[in-house]
Amino acid sequence: MKINKKSLCLYLVTDRAWLKEESLADQVEQAVKSGATFIQLREKKLALTEFIREAKKIKLIADAYHIPFVINDNIDVAMEIDADGVHVGQNDMNARDVRKIIGKHKILGVSAETVEQALTAEDCGADYLGVGAVFNTDTKLDAQSISFDTLKEITKRVRIPVVAIGGINENNILKLKGSHIDGVAVVSAILDRPDICLATRNLKKLAEALTEGA
């Protein structure tokens, strides 16, 4: 599966820090059926066997709803379960090397914080960029916020889609209007809400308004 811009509109990144009485798969399915358009499974602490088991569950959901599903950082897991692709950060494996491993038909997402990083990622074969943090975020405490001007300059300079990430919620999402991004990536704005379905529907409407004409 390759991506189109509409599939990046409301991009959910998982984080089991927000698990309550529900399973991660249950949370993801609620979000997907309510409007999430892309799923990234991010697991930094699970043992490999458990990671694969969780990934298979999420893949079943993504396949059922016909939306892209990528694995954060772990190429072995992505290839093992035949995920749609991989997302890597600046401190993970080099994007060009990742592309060689996963092949040209898989999705490759790359995180970027600067124009230079964005251009390099595009040159290395990235299909889309995750740019941020655009706002302060509790999800990644080491993430540095980037300016609106930097975000806008990245969308201007690259030809591939750009997704903004970092601290985005229903109260600040429209501050990104005019940046020409193709979507927003969120974590707690969906998973930490008492009603995941309602939160997703509300964010989807706002994300569509934000990206219209991007």
Active site residues: 42, 111, 140
Positive/negative CA dihedral, 199, 200, 206, 210 = positive
* SS3 letters across 150-163: HHHHHHHHCCCCEE
Main-chain dihedrals φ then ψ at residue 30, nearest 5 degrees: -60, -45
Cα 159 from Cα 128, distance rounded (Å): 9
Residues ≥6 apart with Cβ < 8 Å to 72: 13, 40, 41, 42, 43, 86, 87, 88
